[in-house]
Structure 1
Amino acid sequence: MPASDPLLDDERLTAIGLFVEAKSALVRRLDEELRRDVGMSLSSYEALIRLGRSPGRRLRQVELSRQLSLTTGGMTRMIDRLAADGLVRRTPCADDRRVSYAELTEEGLRAVERATEVHLVSLQKHFVEPLGEDGVATLAAAARRLRDALVPQVDVR
């Protein structure tokens, strides 16, 4: 048996590997349950919930794509699908013709509310129960610090 390699055994590699593996498994599980129970993908849900929680239930498309880590092309395709389903509409910016907003429709609000009821049950089962309330709070605080350190905050007016 070869001796262990200190470089390859670095705890930072272990920590990020565990984080990525757990995140991937959780996302897969949440997506499966949303698709099965409400016919909505997790990525569509993420777009709708972010719009629903934003002022005026709208965001600049570029800001939404940044928050969802999608390319502008990927965001355009997602908004096209959500708009075709009547869940989102594009609205132009009155001050800048180059800017357009993705805005949640009333139908979109109803859809995201229905999906949220299912999603919260899944989150409780697959996220809160394994970590506990304190673990969720600790993870949220750490994730916020990491996000704030890595993601430039932009003015989204």
Structure 2
Amino acid sequence: MADEESQPQIRTTSESWESLFRTQVAVMRRMQQLPEFKKLAMREYDVLFNLSHCPTGWTRLNELNEALLISQPSLSRMVERLEAKGLVQRRTAERDQRGIEIALTEEGRALQQEIGRVHVRHLHEMLAPALSEEEFKQLQFLTDKLRTGLKDR
């Protein structure tokens, strides 16, 4: 009996996830076309954005990788390209001499902020017509709750 009762819940979970995923795909496709991502690819911007939120300014590659949807080898190559562009810097980890930490350079921070300001406005223009401010708050609450639930397991 319990299995029969869980079938509608399983279907609802699946359909909700599919809706969330398809919405993200649609938004990401539109965002890729935005002019701010002509200066820097969206994935590269994502690296700069995540680095800009590191409490100390520095992070290990594997810690940064936890926030991104990219493989560790791909991230390593991307960091090399960003370093060659003068946007990130590396150093030997202070607590573990075998590790490497990365951080934004001043140029990287300035570019992240420049793109970020424009990007936030474009994102608002794209999404704001669809939901009220209260609905956006509800969406944030629900997605934060889902992410927190995943961390607890």
* Aligned residue in 2 for 1:24: 25
CA distance in structure 1 between the partners assigned to 2:86 and 2:152 by the alignment: 32
TM-score for both structures, normalised by structure 1: 0.82
- In the aligned structure 1, how far is the partner of 2:92 from the partner of 2:136? 38
Q: Distance in 1 between matches of 2:88 and 2:131?
A: 34
Q: Distance in 2 between matches of 1:122 and 1:49?
A: 16
CA deviation digits over 1:62-110, x for unaligned, max 9?
1111111322101101111111110001121122023211100000011
**Partner-residue secondary structure (3-state), 2:147:** helix
Match of 1:35 among 34, 37, 40: 37
In 1, Cα distance between the equivalents of 2:28 and 2:151? 21
Structure 1: gaps (5+ residues)? 1-5
The amino acid across from 2:59 in the alignment is L
| Structure 2 gap ranges (5+) | 1-6
Cα 1:119/1:105, change in 2 over 3 Å: same
* Alpha-carbon distance in structure 1 between the residues aligned to 2:126 and 2:58: 29
Root-mean-square deviation over aligned CA pairs: 2.2
Amino acid at match of 2:91: T
Return the letter of the residue paired with 2:113. Answer: E
Runs of 4+ residues over 4 Å off in structure 1: none
Q: How far 1:152 moved relative to its partner?
A: 6.5
- What is the total number of aligned residue pairs between the two structures? 145
Percent identity over paired residues? 25
2:110 is aligned with 1:130: no
Work out whether residues 87 and 105 of structure 1, in 8 Å CA contact, stay in contact via their aligned partners in 2.
Answer: yes
Query: Could you tell me which residue of structure 2 aligns to residue 139 of structure 1?
Result: 139
String of CA shifts for 1:26-56, please: whole Å, max 9, x gaps. 11211221324xx212211111111112223
Taking structure 2 as the reference length, the TM-score comes to 0.84
8 Å Cα contact 1:86/1:105 also seen in 2? yes
Amino acid at match of 1:14: E
Alpha-carbon distance in 2 for matches of 1:26, 1:14: 18
Q: How do 1:1-157 residues align onto structure 2 when only pairs under 5 Å count?
A: 10-33=11-34, 34-36=36-38, 39-151=39-151
